[in-house]
Amino acid sequence: MQPSLPQAALAGLVKRRELAVAVLRHALVIWASPALLAMFGLEPNAATGRRFLDLVAAEDREMLAGVLDETPGAEAPPTAFRGVRADGSLFDGELASSAFDLPGGAGAVITVSDVTEQRRALTKRSYLAFRDALTELPNRALFFDRLRQTLVDARRHSGAFAILVADLDGFKHVNDRFGHETGDALLQVAAKRLRAASREGDTVARIGGDEFSAILARTTSAEDAAIVAKRMVLAFNAPVVVAEQSCQVGISIGIALYPANGKDIDTLVADADGAMYAAKRAGGKCFKVAS
C-alpha cells in the first residue's frame, strides 16, 4: 500500500509555523510554511507555484533534483545544499524529503534546516585543529600531512621539492631575559617574516618552540631552495621590536632536497635537521644544504 498523508496531517503542518516545511507537486511548491518563507527571505505566497530548485544554488540543482523523488514511499535523508535567499545571498542548508499520496495527487513534503552556523563552527574547529594557536601557521600535524601529499605527488610525476628546517638563533636568551610574553610576541613576528620570505604555494609551519619548517614545492635544485632560505635569513637582519624591547635574533636553516638527499620523509627531515645544526655550528644566521 502506498503511503499517504491525510488532510488532517497536512493541516497540522500548516499550524506548525516554526517548521521550515514545503509541499511539492511536480517539483513546484504548492504550500510553504512561514518559517521556510522567512528562511529564504520570501514574502507570503511568494513561493507558491514556484520551482523549489529555483531557490537552490545553480551548481547544486542537479544533485538535489535527484533527491526530490515524488514517488509515494520515497524518502531522502538529510542532504546538504546551498540555498539562495531573495536578496541573492547564500546559506548552507540541509533538506530531507518524504513522498506521499497527497490530497490531489502524489507529492513530496520537504523539511529544510539552515545549518550555516553549524558548518561555520565545524570549519573553524577543523581549521584550528591544524593551526598553531600562537602564530596561526600550519602546525606539526598539518606540515607532515602536506609533506606526505607533496612526496606522493613528486613520486607520481617524477618531480622534486625541498624541505627546510629552521631554528631561531638567540631565542632562549630573549625568552629568559624578557619573559615568555615577549618570547611569544617574538615568535609571532618571526612567523610573519618567514611567511613573507616564502613563495606562494610554499608551506611554512611552526613545529614547536622556536623551530619552523617549510616545504618548497616544485623546487628542482639547491640553488632554487637557497634563494628562499637566503630571504629568510635576511628577514632577521632587522631587530624584532616587541613590548618596547629590541630583540636581535637570527635564524639557522637546513635544506634537504627530494630526491637528491632522500626518497622518504624520515630521511629528508633528518638530513635537513642535520644541515640546520651545521648552520648553527657555523655561527648561525645562515643556511646549509644537506650533503
Cell 613545529 belongs to which residue?
A: 207
Catalytic hit among 60, 167, 169, 210: 210
Of the candidates 266, 272, 283, the one whose C-alpha atom is nearest the C-alpha of residue 216 is: 272
Q: Which residues contact 162 (CB under 8 A, 6 or more apart)?
A: 215, 216, 219, 222, 224, 225, 255, 256, 257, 258
Q: Which residues contact 118 (CB under 8 A, 6 or more apart)?
A: 92
210 in catalytic set: yes
Catalytic residues: 210
